[in-house]
Copies of this chain bind each other. A is one copy, B any other.
Amino acid sequence: MLKQISGGVCAPKGFRANGVHCGIRKNKIKKDLALIVADNRSATACVYTTNLVKGAPILVTKEHVKDGYAQAVIVNSGNANTCNPDGVEIANAMCALVEAHTGIPSSDVVIASTGVIGQRLSLAPIEGGMEALVKGLGDNGTAAAEAIMTTDTVVKELAYAFKVNGKECHIGAMCKGVGMICPNMATMLMFVTTDVSITPEMLQKALSADVKKSMNMVSVDRDTSTNDTLCVMASGLAGNQTITEANADYRAFCRAFNAVTTAMCRKIARDGEGATKLIECQVSGAKSVKDARLSAKSVINSPLLKAAMFGADANWGRILCALGYSGANLDVDKIEVTFHSKAGDLAVCKEGRGIEFSEEIAKKVLSEEEIIIDVNLNDGNYKATAWGCDLTYDYVKINGDYRT
């Protein structure tokens, strides 16, 4: 039993949050500082970007979650605090501010920053904003979710209720996209809270297994960010018997966790910079999971296909092309491609060859906001799904002068 409920990171028992505008950004109506605190030290697991260039906050967070526990998360937007001479110093100072205002030891603080790379992050606005940030702590997950947005156009938060051996548990999350999105072992910034009782080891195991099929399968532009961080905290207040092994309870938690990450993947892709469409590529009939994932990700990564989707052009040749250079082990002469959307289904390719279709129906199917590209490799039993978006004028516009 898995039920979506309202709210985000504050939906599970034992978490409060808030978000404020402290002045890192000039734009006063845009919040830029978020805080999540747990009532007690919580089992905590994280995954991070594989980019060799890592934001200073990641180095600090790794230290702080080494023991598998944390109690607070502080995040700023507007500046990634990356490639700066004083990055670690500033990140540590931010954690110290959390300790000063909440009493939570800075060594139990998870920290993340997102925004422009290579510009120094000044501590002053953060210092100035802490009092209001802490005073407002409560059921304010939405304010926190707003404060981590960069070019995101919609707030990304959600929550589910689920049962672990009869006990009602909750899981909530907030995250931000939306450019430089091609996560590898982690996503942009995502923070998940749950009241499930689980050991840090099992929590890390669940997280690391899940990102392979969720966050690592989203791509907006094939640029793997320097600050990607996905952090999950488990307060244990749901009262279930602590999950210590890969049993039925663990699997129930994993199902709930995957529901959260998959829903977020769709939100991120749909809100990709400049995107007008969510493109979901479902690959089946692959020789292995690896082949299925390579194929699905290659299709949603093709700039030519992304541009064709923007133009509602059923240019399926570009899908075969992307499959052909994906590196996946596949037999071109077995490939079958069908488009699906609210407006209907359109088969365009069988046995690696084009088949007749109506351009009129094609336009209708591809003009919807959610397009499923259904690729059957007819060569095995493995599946994978990847999420992306179309490539539009606005992607270029947004990124032509993001910094200046």
Contact = CB atoms under 8 A, between A and B. Distances in A.
A224 B314 CA distance: 19
B396 A392 contact: yes
A128 interface: no
A159 interface: no
B117 A307 contact: no
Contact of A311 (B223, B313, B401): B401
A355 to B, nearest CB: 9
B321 A180 contact: yes
Interface in A307-361: 307-308, 310-311, 313-318, 320-325, 330, 332, 349, 352-354, 359
Interface string A35-62: 0000000000000001111100000000
A116 B403 CA distance: 37
B354 A317 contact: no
A88 interface: no
Contact of A395 (B82, B307, B349): B307
Contacts of A321: 51, 53, 117, 180, 223-226
B118 A307 contact: no
9 contacts: A83-B352, A120-B354, A222-B301, A223-B302, A223-B321, A307-B398, A308-B403, A315-B402, A393-B397
Contacts of A223: 302-304, 318, 321-322, 325
A221 B303 contact: yes
A103 interface: no
A325 B52 CA distance: 6
A182 B392 CA distance: 21
A319 to B, nearest CB: 10
A392 B396 CA distance: 6
A184 interface: yes
A390 to B, nearest CB: 9
Interface residues of A, number: 65
Nearest to A317: B117
Contacts of A307: 395-396, 398-400
A399 B311 contact: yes
Nearest to A348: B118
Given A223-B318, A321-B223, A354 B84 contact: yes
A27 interface: no
Contacts of A392: 396
A224 B83 contact: no
A177 interface: no
A325 B50 contact: yes
B313 A84 contact: no
Contacts of A225: 321
A401 B359 CA distance: 12
Contacts of A19: none
A244 interface: no
A182 B222 CA distance: 15
B116 A317 contact: yes
A399 B353 contact: no
A247 interface: no
A328 to B, nearest CB: 9
A53 B304 contact: no
Nearest to A352: B83
Nearest to A86: B353
Nearest to A329: B52
Interface string A70-83: 00000000001011
Nearest to A82: B317
A317 B393 CA distance: 22
Contacts of A53: 320-321, 323-324, 332, 352
Contact of A304 (B51, B83, B179, B303): B179
A398 B315 CA distance: 13
Contacts of A403: 308, 313-315, 317
